[in-house]
């Protein structure tokens, strides 16, 4: 598998060139979210290690950059990217190759660790997942590895907010299980004070249904006073992808065939 893919048309980030620092053929994650587009987690872990070499990422990036137009380079893909033990080394190498801003999509599971927060501080944009306001709902939606506790994760996000000088966005995925808890989730978001709250619902094929637009409009209204962007309202850029196969591994198309 290539470690670099896309660009993909991101409703949050524009033309996003992906870097996958784990590149797992079988889903490897600290969560087993009920809505995950990649299916069930095969290898559930919270242990950081080197999955792919920094040299391989540099090679793949140098090959693809001349062929594409991108607004940002985003660390994401087939697994939780903070599991990569060489994450900061990859970031430093990518910055030597490209002047594009760097973003990362994290499920927040390891953010209570100082080494992970230090690695995340090397990005321009950090998009941190938060799908629940309490441990009970967290367990039902994100189905984390036993070592990950909601309160510790929340403490980690708040600590990172205090330390981070870049853009911090909270991504909140709404489904039937948590849509009635939007006010509680908005209250948590106000405590964190992110730069943006991304209101999402799973539009790609997965085991749970996406909420309709009118539900997300109602949910968004609960986040008054916070800057929000909704998946139904955001515009997606036109993008020419270098390798559609690599994109499909990580971003299964929506039911209408779009990305």
Evaluate whether residue 62 is within a structural domain: yes
Of 247 and 49, which is predicted with more confidence?
49
Confirm whether 259 is domain-assigned. Answer: no
Distances (CA, A) of 51 to 44, 116, 149, 259: 15, 16, 25, 27
Residue 4 token pair: 């670099």
> 257 falls in which pLDDT band (50, 70, 90)?
very low
In a domain, 210, yes or no: yes
* Cβ(83)–Cβ(45) below 8 Å: yes
At 256 the pLDDT is 44
Query: In this structure, is residue 203 part of a structural domain?
Result: yes
Decide if 95 is inside a domain.
yes
Phi, psi of 16 (to 5 degrees): -110, 115
pLDDT band, residue 50 (cuts 50/70/90): very high
Least confident of 1-10, 11-20, 237-246, 249-258: 249-258
Give me the number of domains the chain comprises: 1
CATH (domain of 116): 3.20.20.70
pLDDT, tens only, 65-81: 999 999 999 999 888 99
Q: Averaged over 23-52, what is the pLDDT?
A: 92
Mean pLDDT of the chain: 92
Q: Highest mean pLDDT range out of 37-41, 188-192, 247-251?
A: 188-192
Residue 257 within any structural domain of the chain = no
Quote the pTM value.
0.92
Q: Is the pLDDT of residue 31 over 60?
A: yes
What does R_g of the chain's alpha carbons equal in angstroms?
17
201 is a domain residue = yes
Task: Retrieve residue 59's tokens.
Answer: 């090679």
Residues 84-93: tens digit of each pLDDT: 999 999 999 9
- More reliable by pLDDT, 83 or 250: 83
The answer to whether 129 and 12 are in contact (CB under 8 A) is: no
In the structure, what pLDDT confidence band is assigned to residue 254 with cuts at 50, 70 and 90? low
157 vs 34: CA distance, rounded Å: 22
Q: Is residue 256 part of a domain?
A: no
- Burial (CB count <10 Å: 0-12, 13-18, 19+), residue 180: exposed
Average pLDDT over residues 117-133: 98
Q: What is the DSSP string of 141-186?
A: HT---TT--HHHHHHHHHHHHHH--SEEEEEEE--TTTGGGHHHHH
* Helix, strand, or coil (residue 106): strand
How confident is the model over 207-227, as pLDDT tens digits? 899 999 999 999 999 999 999
Q: In terms of residue numbers, what domain contains 70?
A: 4-250
pLDDT at 132: 98
Q: Angle 103-109-113 (CA atoms, 0-180°, nearest 5)?
A: 90
Q: Which two tokens stand for residue 75?
A: 């660390």
């Amino acid at each position: 598998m290539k470690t670099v893919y896309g660009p993909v048309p991101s409703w949050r980030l524009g033309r996003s060139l992906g870097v996958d620092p784990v590149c797992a053929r079988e889903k490897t994650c600290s969560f087993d979210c009920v809505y995950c587009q990649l299916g069930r987690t095969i290898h559930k872990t919270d242990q950081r290690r080197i999955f792919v070499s920094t040299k391989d990422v540099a090679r793949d990036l140098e090959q693809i950059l001349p062929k594409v137009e991108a607004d940002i380079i985003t660390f994401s893909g087939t697994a939780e990217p903070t599991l990569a033990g060489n994450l900061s080394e990859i970031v430093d190498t990518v910055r030597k190759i490209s002047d594009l801003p760097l973003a990362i999509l994290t499920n927040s599971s390891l953010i209570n660790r100082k080494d992970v927060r230090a690695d995340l501080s090397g990005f321009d944009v950090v998009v941190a997942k938060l799908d629940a306001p309490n441990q009970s709902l967290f367990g039902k939606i994100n189905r984390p590895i036993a070592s990950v506790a909601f309160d510790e994760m929340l403490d980690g996000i708040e600590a990172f907010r205090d330390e981070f000088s870049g853009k911090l966005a909270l991504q909140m995925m709404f489904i039937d299980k948590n849509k009635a808890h939007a006010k509680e989730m908005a209250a948590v978001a106000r405590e964190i004070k992110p730069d943006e709250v991304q209101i999402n619902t799973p539009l790609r094929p997965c085991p749970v249904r996406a909420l309709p637009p009118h539900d997300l409009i109602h949910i968004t209204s609960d986040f008054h006073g916070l800057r929000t962007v909704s998946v139904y309202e955001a515009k997606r850029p036109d993008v020419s992808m270098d390798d559609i196969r690599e994109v499909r591994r990580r971003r299964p198309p929506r039911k209408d065939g779009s990305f």
